A and B are shown apart, each in its own frame.
Chain A
Amino acid sequence: MDTIDSTLVDWSRAQFALTAMYHWIFVPLTLGLGVVMAIMETLYVRTGREFWKQTARFWMKLFGINFAMGVATGIILEFEFGTNWSNYSWFVGDIFGAPLAIEGIVAFFMESTFIAVMYFGWNKVSKGAHLASTWLTIIGATLSAWWILVANAWMQYPVGMEFNPDTVRNEMVDFAAVALSPVAVVKFCHTVTSSWVLGAAFVVGMSCWYLLRGRHTDFAKASIRVACWFGLVAALLTAHTGHQSGRDIARLQPMKLAAAEGLYEGGNNQGLVMAAALRPGVDWAAPTSEERFLFNIELPGALSFLATHEWDGYVPGIRNILEGGYPLPDGSTALSAEEKMQRGRTAIAALATYRQTKDAAEKQAALETLRANFACFGYGYLSTPADLVPPVPLTFYSFRIMVMVGGFYLALFAGMLVLGKWICRWKLALLAVVLSTPLAWMASQAGWVVAEVGRQPWAIQGLLPNVAAISRLDVGAVQTTFFIFLGLFTLLLVAEVSIMVRAIATGPELKD
């Protein structure tokens, strides 16, 4: 066997994660703040009040700073696909590349065109045309997110393709299946609505800062009112789409659900973990006589209900998934990890035979064997069934951070709408709201940690694990670029935060 140093896999993953997490600081604020400012401009056009125009222009200024700092940070991810993930890029580039190309050609150009009218078109185009440009800017940004999330959803649930052993590439055979995959639709809705929550949280947090300082109070209260209504609707939609996403995970990525719930031994009528602490150092891939939780408070049957819509529904745990033999939703029986690994090795050996042999009959037989076992292709690269178990504590706690912060914002937006007058006079409460603003980013990042760490070891679910997807690079080179990025990203982040803080400190230019 041609071995790959596990350190190379870890550093390649770390570098990609660093770049993606940095990129994701800017994207959700663009998506969320964009809608808030568009709503404010709509209020200006509908009421004719100059106040709303000035309010919209201030938030637009912060949107511009965030947009400028975030623009092009995603390009580094695309460099990394070619350099660090060359096997992956070749293996699935025909499918993965299509949504990325559409994103660049259609959505990003749409966004870039209308953003110019939005910033430079005040007093040059009519109110209606300007408002349309503002909405089209944010629709363009949201469409960008759509295509990126289609690409990501395909990695979680690969559909609409056929493997061509002559080119060693997966080729798209059904564009609609890829672009409108149910996983993509749910992922898009959940990601965008959660970004709206983040945008609303930012507006509320910064507005509370003005109230705390006793500055621009009318502007701050009006911004809080708009952001809280928007944020409340967004938080409810996020909860609903999060549930849909959970159902998809239960059906298509049961190991991720088991890791997020710390579920080793599954079964019927499974409880949902409400509050718990995992015992440190437990091996989640093997049986143990130790308790896996230090404490655990469960809601009986709730996990089964959320995953299957039946209180008595079956939810497999880590052990069940590794050992197989449990009933799948389509009526078949789950294969064990060992069986899948064997089928994977058979598929890879058939690919090797297909590409080496000159004998037509042998080639045809190899092709049939490859096709019969292709669904398990990626399992052939695993060393042991334990490789299929993702880092449980990271997935488990990230999931809880995401849900708890989501719940916090739901309560905060509702509380601010009901008790706003009282909260706005209580300095400690205002300070708490200001200081809680970074929680929105924490939840957003935690959501991606659940989505991506929870599906390890896969680059593409079931088809290609990271160990086969990465390029054979020198570990030192990947480490060097990791630290270059860390320095570069930190500098850019400091620049953004300082420019943003200066703009917030200056405040809106309000004229009556």
Chain B
Amino acid sequence: MTLGRTLWYIILVKLLIMFAVLKPFFFPSHLQGTEQEKEAAVSAELTGRVNNP
């Protein structure tokens, strides 16, 4: 196999793993729903994690 073909093969395999395996199965979007629901979720997280002695 020529060098160029080997590199293209590796690039395609890499992109396939990233977008067809990692993204859908291991990296789902954590925030879901409408913009207001996302705002509310982050707001609850940020105001809930505060440290009050």
Residues of A within 8 A of B (CB): 1-4, 61, 64-65, 68-69, 71-73, 75-76, 79-80, 82-84, 86-87, 89-91, 166-168, 341, 344-345, 348-349, 351-352, 355, 380-383, 467-468, 471-473, 477, 480-481, 484, 488, 492, 495, 499, 503
Known: A86-B30, A468-B46. A72 touches B15 (CB 8 A): yes
Contacts of B31 in A (CB 8 A): 82, 86, 89-90
User: In the complex, A499→B9 CA distance in Å?
Assistant: 13
Assess the A467–B49 pair: CB atoms within 8 A: yes
**In the complex, which of the residues A65, A82, A348, A481 contacts B47, with contact meaning CB atoms closer than 8 Å?**
A348
**In the complex, which of the residues A65, A69, A472 contacts B45, with contact meaning CB atoms closer than 8 Å?**
A472
Contacts of B50 in A (CB 8 A): 1, 344-345, 348-349, 380-381
Known: A76-B18, A87-B42, A90-B38. A351 touches B47 (CB 8 A): yes
Contacts of B23 in A (CB 8 A): 79
| Closest partner residue, chain A, to B35 (CB atom) | A167
Contacts of B48 in A (CB 8 A): 1-2
Assess the B30–A1 pair: CB atoms within 8 A: no
Assess the B51–A499 pair: CB atoms within 8 A: no
Assess the A82–B26 pair: CB atoms within 8 A: no
Assess the A381–B52 pair: CB atoms within 8 A: no
| Closest partner residue, chain A, to B44 (CB atom) | A2
Known: A86-B30, A87-B46. A72 touches B17 (CB 8 A): no
Contacts of A352 in B (CB 8 A): 43, 47
Contacts of B38 in A (CB 8 A): 90
Assess the A355–B47 pair: CB atoms within 8 A: yes
Assess the B43–A72 pair: CB atoms within 8 A: no
In the assembled complex, the CB of B14 is this many whole angstroms from the nearest CB of chain A, namely 6
In the assembled complex, the CB of A362 is this many whole angstroms from the nearest CB of chain B, namely 16
B29 contacts partner chain A, Cβ-Cβ < 8 Å = yes
User: In the complex, A484→B25 CA distance in Å?
Assistant: 12
Known: A351-B46, A351-B47, A381-B50. A75 touches B39 (CB 8 A): no
User: In the complex, A84→B17 CA distance in Å?
Assistant: 19
Contacts of B39 in A (CB 8 A): 90, 166-168
Could you name 24 residue pairs across A and B whose Cβ atoms are closer than 8 Å? Answer: A1-B49, A2-B49, A64-B7, A65-B3, A79-B23, A80-B27, A82-B27, A83-B26, A83-B29, A86-B30, A89-B31, A90-B39, A91-B42, A167-B35, A168-B43, A345-B50, A351-B43, A351-B46, A355-B43, A477-B26, A480-B26, A492-B10, A492-B14, A499-B3
| Closest partner residue, chain B, to A85 (CB atom) | B30
Contacts of B43 in A (CB 8 A): 168, 351-352, 355
B34 contacts partner chain A, Cβ-Cβ < 8 Å = no
Contacts of B30 in A (CB 8 A): 82-84, 86, 471, 473
User: In the complex, A172→B11 CA distance in Å?
Assistant: 35
User: In the complex, A471→B49 CA distance in Å?
Assistant: 12
| Closest partner residue, chain A, to B8 (CB atom) | A68
Contacts of A168 in B (CB 8 A): 39, 42-43, 46
Having A2-B48, A348-B46, one finds 16 other A-B pairs with CB under 8 Å, namely A1-B50, A64-B7, A68-B11, A79-B23, A86-B42, A90-B38, A168-B46, A345-B50, A351-B47, A380-B51, A471-B30, A473-B30, A477-B26, A481-B22, A484-B22, A495-B10
Contacts of B47 in A (CB 8 A): 348-349, 351-352, 355
